[in-house]
């Protein structure tokens, strides 16, 4: 049975796309430009924090045991294993944002998207596509956050995610993140009707 999740407030946004495609970059930019409009759904993960990441803001960093217990207790709307770590969206993370009447932003992988599609959340699905696999690899390497093993796993996964993103039925919009400014303008234009609705 699909997990029950309340559909309070504005429609949430789900950002998806290969690791390194620019989801976090564009999410941070739109949240910064429209303060008070969006709220981030803080996921749980078993991966270690990267330098500069803050517990409770970027993720809730938890052990595998804690995460597995939460999943079996039904605390998560969706969860997935990505590059050897568990990630998941708790019901609380989404409901906390919805209760404040903000547009809830989820940043999740394609496994999560497939699971969310089986729930009553009814979000808008946005796919962030890199201009090419070569550029994706350059950007991921340039970010300097991954070991060679993690980078390899992420690039293998990226191929399948690109295929899933190329099916026009799976997403409401696909944005090619080549030039950052252009990708951001496209995202902003697409979201403007939702932003105006919240600002009414």
Ligand X SMILES: Nc1nc2c(ncn2[C@@H]2O[C@H](COP(=O)(O)O)[C@@H](O)[C@H]2O)c(=O)[nH]1
Are 170 and 126 contacting, i.e. CB atoms less than 8 angstroms apart?
no
Phi/psi of residue 163, nearest 5 degrees: -65, -45
Identify how many contiguous H helices and E strands the chain contains and give both numbers: 7, 9
Among residues 79, 89, 98, 177, which is the contact residue for ligand ATP, using CB under 6 A?
177
16-24, 86-94, 110-118, 190-198 -> range binding ligand ATP (CB under 6 A): 16-24
User: Which position among 11, 50, 99, 139 bears the catalytic label?
Assistant: 50
Are 58 and 45 contacting, i.e. CB atoms less than 8 angstroms apart?
no
As a dihedral over the C-alpha atoms of residue 157, residue 186, residue 100, residue 36, rounded to 10 degrees, the angle is 120
**Is residue 20 close enough to count as binding ligand ATP by CB under 6 A?**
yes
User: Which position among 11, 47, 141, 143 bears the catalytic label?
Assistant: 143
Nearer to ligand X by Cβ, of 89 and 177: the residue is 89
**Is residue 143 close enough to count as binding ligand ATP by CB under 6 A?**
yes
Q: Cα 193 vs. chain centroid, distance in angstroms?
A: 21
Q: Is the dihedral of CA 60, 62, 68, 70 positive or negative?
A: negative
Binding mask 74-113 for ligand X (x = CB under 6 A): ----x-x-x----xxx-----------------xxx-xx-
**Is residue 41 close enough to count as binding ligand ATP by CB under 6 A?**
no
Minimum gap (Å) between residue 73 Cβ and ligand ATP? 27
**Is residue 142 close enough to count as binding ligand ATP by CB under 6 A?**
yes
Which residues inside 66-95 make contact with ligand ATP, applying CB under 6 A? none
135-141 contacts at long range (C-beta below 8 A, 24 or more positions apart) = 135/178, 136/18, 136/20, 136/21, 137/20, 139/20, 139/22, 140/19, 140/20
Extended beta strands in 83-189, E state:
85-90, 103-107, 124-129, 173-176
Contact residues for ligand X (CB under 6 A)? 19, 23, 43, 47, 78, 80, 82, 87-89, 107-109, 111-112
Q: Which residues are catalytic?
A: 50, 143, 154
Contact residues for ligand ATP (CB under 6 A)? 17, 19-25, 139, 142-143, 177, 179-180, 183
């Amino acid at each position: 049975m699909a997990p029950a999740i309340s559909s309070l407030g504005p429609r949430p946004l789900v950002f998806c796309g290969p690791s390194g495609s620019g989801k976090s970059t564009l999410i941070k930019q739109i949240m910064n430009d429209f303060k008070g409009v969006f709220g981030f759904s803080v996921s749980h993960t078993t991966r270690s924090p990267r330098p500069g990441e803050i517990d409770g803001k970027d993720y809730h960093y938890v052990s595998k045991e804690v995460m597995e217990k939460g999943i079996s207790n039904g605390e998560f709307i969706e969860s997935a294993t990505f590059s050897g770590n568990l990630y998941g969206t708790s019901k609380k993370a989404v409901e906390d944002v919805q209760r404040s009447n903000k547009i809830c932003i989820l940043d999740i992988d394609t496994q999560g998207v497939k699971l969310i599609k089986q729930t009553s959340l009814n979000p808008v699905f946005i796919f962030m596509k890199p201009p090419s696999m070569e550029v994706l690899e350059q950007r991921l390497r340039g970010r300097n956050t991954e070991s060679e093993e993690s980078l390899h796993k992420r690039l293998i996964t990226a191929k399948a995610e690109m295929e899933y993103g190329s099916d026009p039925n799976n997403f409401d919009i696909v944005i090619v993140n080549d030039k950052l400014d252009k990708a951001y303008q496209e995202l902003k234009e697409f979201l403007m009707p939702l932003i105006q609705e919240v600002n009414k």
